[in-house]
Amino acid sequence: MRQEGETTVIRITPDAGSVKSSQYRDVPLHQQLIDQGFLDFVNAAKAGPLFHDLPANPYEGARRNANRLSAWLAGKKAIPEGIQPNHAWRHRFTSIGIAVGIENRIRKAIQGHSARDISEHYGDVPIPVMKAAIDRLPTYKI
């Protein structure tokens, strides 16, 4: 986690678990995550990846990370009881992103999706542009 101006940014890295492009990406946090205490969660965590303890079985790490994130969200009452949200977040983000008018290139940068063609490799989506897009996402009633 770091501050870039007024924006709190999380770095999602391949060494912390499955990342589709095998490269890190920086993503601004939605204000609701900050308001719900995510930074306190981060500050209370031990050094190293937030959601990952390297297990003997590499596939177990992804499962463990998903369970920890689900437990944190459930503890914040951010998801209905019995719902497993992790697999559906990208689909939901894409649907809501389309609904609020976030451009495809910006959605892909936030999600870490790879380029479809060579032209999409040129230029980066700056943090302030991603932050403006994330600010368009609605909050969840908790």
- 68 in a structural domain: yes
For the chain, the residue count is 142
At 77-90, the pLDDT tens digits run 766 666 556 556 77
pLDDT at position 83 is 58
- 140 in a structural domain: no
pLDDT band at residue 126 under the 50/70/90 scheme: very high
- 69 in a structural domain: yes
DSSP 141: P
At 93-120, the pLDDT tens digits run 888 999 999 999 999 999 888 777 777 7
38, amino acid identity: F
Contact call for residues 123 and 2 (beta carbons, < 8 A): no
- Whether residue 45 is predicted with pLDDT greater than 80 in this model: the reply is yes
31's CB contacts (< 8 A; 6+ apart) are 135, 139
Cα separation, 70 vs 72, in Å, equals 5
* Helix, strand, or coil (residue 3): strand
pLDDT at position 64 is 76
Across the chain, mean pLDDT equals: 81
Predicted model pTM:
0.70
- 116 in a structural domain: yes
pLDDT band at residue 131 under the 50/70/90 scheme: very high
Cα 1 to Cα 9, 20, 123: the distances in Å are: 6, 20, 24
- 9 in a structural domain: yes
- 128 in a structural domain: yes
Sheet containing strand 7-12, edge to edge, reads: 2-4, 7-12, 25-28
Cα separation, 7 vs 33, in Å, equals 13
Contact call for residues 133 and 102 (beta carbons, < 8 A): yes
pLDDT band at residue 37 under the 50/70/90 scheme: very high
- Whether residue 39 is predicted with pLDDT greater than 70 in this model: the reply is yes
- Whether residue 75 is predicted with pLDDT greater than 90 in this model: the reply is no
- 141 in a structural domain: no
24's CB contacts (< 8 A; 6+ apart) are 11, 12, 13, 14
Q: Which domain holds residue 86?
A: 2-135
Q: What angle do CA 106, 110, 115 make, to 5 degrees?
A: 65
Domains: count for the chain: 1
- Whether residue 130 is predicted with pLDDT greater than 90 in this model: the reply is yes
- 22 in a structural domain: yes
